[in-house]
Chains A and B, each alone.
Chain A
């Protein structure tokens, strides 16, 4: 059992499916109480990483651990500490939502019925219908309630809000904050970048099975380009050979550019012109995401 605050660890984990490398030497850790977002386009390796973490598939190389337990060799010990929300939940068609919640809660090892009722109410869920009659959104509510009512130490969520309406997505954000305040650790794979931006302390970005960035949003922003917009009178400022400046666009006394690293050379270059206004904006997560994937579309 890990004695420190480390909740999960991917240690040089590689997964191959035949010739295809789905995950390539992934190494990352999560600390207790952290909310970490896992981002990446389709085929980036997010689901493979989660399935390895859940002990559903075996790493070809390396090791994944949760609370010090090997996810492949000791899955039961791992599963006693985590709850999982899949991106799509195929329920048993002949059981009601309530029966499914009871079953999953009991098989987890127990749950507080009052908490279950609270979530049923908050997610506006009707537990008396047969599984086959639920819409995708309602099936997703079952998965969410089942995971949340266990109060598991670690919540692993794979696109948990898929199918939920905007009001419930907002409720989900509140629920995430509450879980974090209780000290629960959350690994959230999502395509909803705004959701990750609001909820997550750290973000891991995968591309072609490799971890290309892992850090706090602040770290990522610091490493990434900020957007600078300025208005000027007279001759336009000269940004040629200014360190860190790129993508400069002049238009009718207005300039827009990207700057990476220190802004000092940029400010010195601007000082040579008559600047009437300036605005520096840190990149949104979406802009960060695009900067890592270039022209690749954000799927979702």
Chain B
């Protein structure tokens, strides 16, 4: 008789968790490593002389606007510092979003879909299950770090030590938010709620990173968030090793917290629910519209709040940005790559930051379409669709509430940017704020439509496809300012076609194309959904 020990079973579970993550993680790791390799390899071609490098360091280090966007810059006259700032600046938010996605998936997603109950029927405890998930996530971090460490020296002059430092700092951010994701998964009632809470934390910590570059910000502020820790790692020469310890301790604390909470929590239960709270909910939702507003409302408020915070902060550094640019006119060339023709115009700056913040309504749109699949996989959709409700109507209600949410979030971003600039003295006209906000809507609507298309054709891919396309398109444009990415690749990204309103006139052709693609995809997706089988997990 073959004896199978609990340890054997645990390793089988670990393999199972790795298998679950493998397809999407492969795409994420390849994408993250490739972008970092591209940036690192471009260092010597874009800044061939020492003078160029010095100029870059002098121009960017200490510039609040650029540091607000990509984090604190250290040693930009070295390839290590350049890679940390230019590659890691946009990649660190991406890798932590990935961390939250996978952390909440293994921490709660499998449980929500009823898969964990089967696994827990054996001799393994819930803590063992969560430990296996955490181990699998740790292995992902190791694979990512190894690929980055070995990959960068192949294409650039960066040494192994510098490459390893960058990889560990990125992996540290990933692990911290992964562990946070598993912790939130124990606290929140569903994976969807945990994911949204995790994305909210990402937004707030990003805002704190931005605040920390303001002149008035206290010195300790960068040390308050993992984004700050990432920047403080700097290079081996000018940088601190303390962040690595902080990453490790925070990850450990979150992981231990998650394991402790999961042992106390009932399956499908939540730490947030009390009997008292339960008894207060008396309002009835008697229409599909009211129901959908109830489901998406908290998310709209959350994404809106993050949008307000970030656009306020960005707005508040507008004057410093303009003053800085006036002192360094040569920098205008780099900014032109972002489409900023006259960087001394505050309206153009607001256009730039609001355009970057389009990521918020777009992420909201992605979260809404990912929730469509969640409803289908868990069987909640079945309960609705056996009522006299047309499938297309259900989808339409979801889309309309999503678009209303996108509109609200976009407008508050525009007006908050106006308020932010107003605080520091440069008042933007309300009409300009309105235009800036309206300019964001078509692209997020397009992502909603594309999500519905995937949902209609192949529902299991809905979330992964939309999040991946969204973040990849964003990163391509962010990188294009410093890299010679082929134009045709950049032009595939919708972010490339977004006008910097109010700094320049709206690109009505692009906006119309976004809306048409969104509408067309949405219609095709709806028809496909009407005529396909419902697929539960």
What is the 8 Å Cβ interface bit string for chain B, positions 254-286, against chain A (1 contact, 0 not)? 000000000000001110010101110111111
How far does the alpha carbon of A92 sit from the alpha carbon of B378 in the complex, in Å? Answer: 10
Determine if B387 and A56 form an interchain contact, defined as CB atoms under 8 angstroms apart.
Answer: no
Q: Is the C-beta of B294 less than 8 angstroms from some C-beta in chain A?
A: yes
How far does the alpha carbon of A96 sit from the alpha carbon of B279 in the complex, in Å? Answer: 8
Decide yes or no: A107 and B284 within 8 Å by CB, A57-B533, A88-B379 being known contacts.
Answer: no
Q: Which residues does chain B contribute within 8 Å of A98, judged by CB atoms? A: 282, 284
> Contact check: which of B189, B287, B388, B534 meets A108 at CB < 8 Å?
B388
Q: Which residues does chain A contribute within 8 Å of B193, judged by CB atoms? A: 93-94
Decide yes or no: A90 and B379 within 8 Å by CB, A96-B278, A106-B287, A133-B269 being known contacts.
Answer: yes
Decide yes or no: A89 and B278 within 8 Å by CB, A57-B533, A79-B389, A130-B273 being known contacts.
Answer: no
Q: Is the C-beta of B291 less than 8 angstroms from some C-beta in chain A?
A: yes
How far does the alpha carbon of A57 sit from the alpha carbon of B190 in the complex, in Å? Answer: 27
How far does the alpha carbon of A98 sit from the alpha carbon of B282 in the complex, in Å? Answer: 8
* Chain A positions 70-127 with a Cβ under 8 Å from a chain B Cβ: 75-77, 79-80, 82-84, 86, 88-96, 98-99, 102-104, 106-109
How far does the alpha carbon of A56 sit from the alpha carbon of B532 in the complex, in Å? Answer: 8
Determine if A58 and B189 form an interchain contact, defined as CB atoms under 8 angstroms apart.
Answer: no
Q: Is the C-beta of A256 less than 8 angstroms from some C-beta in chain B?
A: no
* Chain A positions 232-260 with a Cβ under 8 Å from a chain B Cβ: none
Interface residues on chain A, number (Cβ under 8 Å): 39
How far does the alpha carbon of A241 sit from the alpha carbon of B378 in the complex, in Å? Answer: 58
> Contact check: which of B269, B378, B385 meets A90 at CB < 8 Å?
B378
Q: Which residues does chain A contribute within 8 Å of B378, judged by CB atoms? A: 90
Determine if A86 and B382 form an interchain contact, defined as CB atoms under 8 angstroms apart.
Answer: yes
Minimum distance in angstroms from A185 CB to a CB of chain B: 16
How far does the alpha carbon of A88 sit from the alpha carbon of B268 in the complex, in Å? Answer: 14
Determine if B383 and A86 form an interchain contact, defined as CB atoms under 8 angstroms apart.
Answer: yes
> Contact check: which of A57, A84, A132 meets B534 at CB < 8 Å?
A57
Determine if A130 and B534 form an interchain contact, defined as CB atoms under 8 angstroms apart.
Answer: no
Q: Is the C-beta of B2 less than 8 angstroms from some C-beta in chain A?
A: no
Q: Is the C-beta of B220 less than 8 angstroms from some C-beta in chain A?
A: no
Q: Which residues does chain A contribute within 8 Å of B380, judged by CB atoms? A: 90-92
Q: Which residues does chain A contribute within 8 Å of B382, judged by CB atoms? A: 54, 56, 86
Q: Which residues does chain A contribute within 8 Å of B12, judged by CB atoms? A: none
Determine if B385 and A56 form an interchain contact, defined as CB atoms under 8 angstroms apart.
Answer: yes
Determine if B273 and A132 form an interchain contact, defined as CB atoms under 8 angstroms apart.
Answer: yes
How far does the alpha carbon of A130 sit from the alpha carbon of B279 in the complex, in Å? Answer: 8
Determine if B387 and A79 form an interchain contact, defined as CB atoms under 8 angstroms apart.
Answer: yes
Determine if B273 and A133 form an interchain contact, defined as CB atoms under 8 angstroms apart.
Answer: yes
Minimum distance in angstroms from A134 CB to a CB of chain B: 9
Determine if A84 and B281 form an interchain contact, defined as CB atoms under 8 angstroms apart.
Answer: no
Q: Name the residue of chain A whose CB is nearest to the CB of B266.
A: A133
Determine if B189 and A76 form an interchain contact, defined as CB atoms under 8 angstroms apart.
Answer: no
Q: Which residues does chain A contribute within 8 Å of B284, judged by CB atoms? A: 98-99, 102-103, 106
Q: List 25 A-B contacts (CB under 8 A).
A: A51-B533, A58-B533, A79-B387, A80-B388, A82-B386, A88-B379, A90-B379, A91-B380, A95-B285, A96-B281, A96-B282, A104-B383, A107-B286, A107-B288, A107-B388, A107-B389, A109-B388, A128-B281, A129-B275, A129-B278, A130-B273, A132-B190, A132-B269, A132-B273, A133-B269
Chain A interfacial positions (CB closer than 8 Å to B): 51, 54-58, 75-77, 79-80, 82-84, 86, 88-96, 98-99, 102-104, 106-109, 128-130, 132-133, 143
Closest 7 CB pairs of A and B: A106-B286, A57-B533, A102-B284, A84-B386, A93-B189, A90-B378, A79-B388
Contacts A79-B386, A90-B378 known; 4 new A-B pairs at CB < 8 A: A55-B386, A76-B388, A99-B283, A107-B387
